């Protein structure tokens, strides 16, 4: 179950900008992309996501009033955890999720030049021919207070930022922020990136290998992909989920 989000940093206090995972080797998703640099081992729980603390969200929004100047943020401030409530429901529903749990609490950092929020959701769903597929949904929100991120955003177009290698495919997504594009990072990984003024949002979906659990089903060797190989079918769900993520960080 998602615990109360953590807020770190402030105007004079640096804070972590990554999420700590469970570190349990039993939660290792197995071979594959892993996204290990910034995503930790999956922590599987029976309970689903719950709403983030209203006090936490209110505190973050209060900090936003003290920031002035810099690129236009179009009313975005750090608010509720995108991994709580129903924000990512368009994507978890499309995946056919039977279990949704947090990898770690949502983490936020407030700084002079950059406000950041990170959260990760673990999802399990049935897979064919039998068994359970595992997925990870990773959300980042970066609010650039002093420097326009446009040049950096354009420079990284078509780039897998974890491996610093070209993405397998890139396509623009019209009607989302100032500019947006979908990256195919591999057979089982899709990433949607959006820039709206000084706000940059990233939503990444990665599938992992899983073992068959159905009685009498043939054994599936570890390393054999049971998550869907074609992630193109989830691109529309990624866009719909991203719209909810952006709406959740917008000051009403």
- Tens digits of per-residue pLDDT, 63-74? 444 445 689 999
Higher model confidence: residue 105 or residue 158?
Answer: 158
3-state secondary structure of 134: strand
pLDDT digits (tens, 9 = 90+) for 5-22: 455 544 333 333 333 333
Regarding predicted confidence, which is higher, 246 or 127? 246
The per-residue pLDDT for range 183-230, each reduced to its tens digit, is: 998 878 999 999 999 999 999 999 886 654 445 544 444 444 444 556
6-9/107-110 β-pairing: parallel
Residue 233 pLDDT > 60: yes
The two tokens of residue 65 are: 């009033």
Q: Are 42 and 121 in contact (CB under 8 A)?
A: no
Please give the pLDDT value at position 69. Answer: 67
Q: Is the dihedral of CA 156, 160, 161, 165 positive or negative?
A: negative
Per-residue model confidence as pLDDT tens digits over 138-176: 999 999 999 999 999 999 988 988 888 999 899 999 999
Beta strands in 107-151 (DSSP E): 107-110, 114-126, 132-144
Q: CA 142 to CA 152: how far, in whole Å?
A: 13
Given this model, what pLDDT does residue 251 score? 85
CA separation, residue 103 to residues 56, 99, 137 (Å) = 19, 13, 10
Q: What is the pLDDT of residues 144-154, one digit of tens each?
A: 999 999 999 99
Which pLDDT value is given to residue 29?
Answer: 42
pTM of the model: 0.71
CA atoms of 17 and 227, how far apart (whole Å): 29
């Amino acid at each position: 179950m998602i615990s109360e989000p953590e807020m770190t940093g402030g105007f004079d206090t640096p804070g972590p900008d990554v999420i700590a995972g469970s570190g349990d080797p039993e939660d290792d998703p197995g071979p594959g992309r892993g996204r290990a640099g910034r995503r930790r081992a999956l922590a599987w729980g029976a309970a689903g996501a719950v709403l983030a603390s209203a006090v936490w969200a209110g505190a973050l929004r209060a900090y936003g009033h003290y920031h002035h100047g810099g690129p236009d943020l179009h009313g975005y401030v750090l608010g509720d955890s995108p991994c709580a409530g129903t924000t990512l429901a368009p994507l978890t529903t499309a995946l056919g999720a039977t279990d949704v749990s947090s990898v770690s609490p949502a983490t936020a950092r407030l700084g002079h030049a950059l406000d950041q929020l990170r959260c990760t959701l673990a999802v399990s769903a049935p897979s064919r021919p039998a068994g359970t597929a595992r997925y990870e949904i990773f959300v980042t929100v970066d609010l650039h207070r002093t420097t326009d991120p446009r040049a950096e955003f354009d420079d990284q177009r078509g780039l897998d930022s974890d491996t610093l290698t070209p993405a397998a495919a890139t396509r623009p997504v019209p009607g989302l922020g100032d500019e947006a594009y979908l990256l195919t990072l591999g057979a089982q990984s899709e990433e949607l990136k959006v820039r709206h003024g000084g706000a940059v949002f990233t939503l990444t979906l990665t599938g992992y290998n899983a073992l068959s659990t159905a009685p009498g089903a043939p054994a599936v060797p570890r390393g054999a992909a049971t998550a869907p190989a074609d992630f193109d079918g989830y691109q529309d769900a990624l866009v719909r989920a991203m719209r909810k993520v952006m709406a959740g960080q917008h000051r009403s």
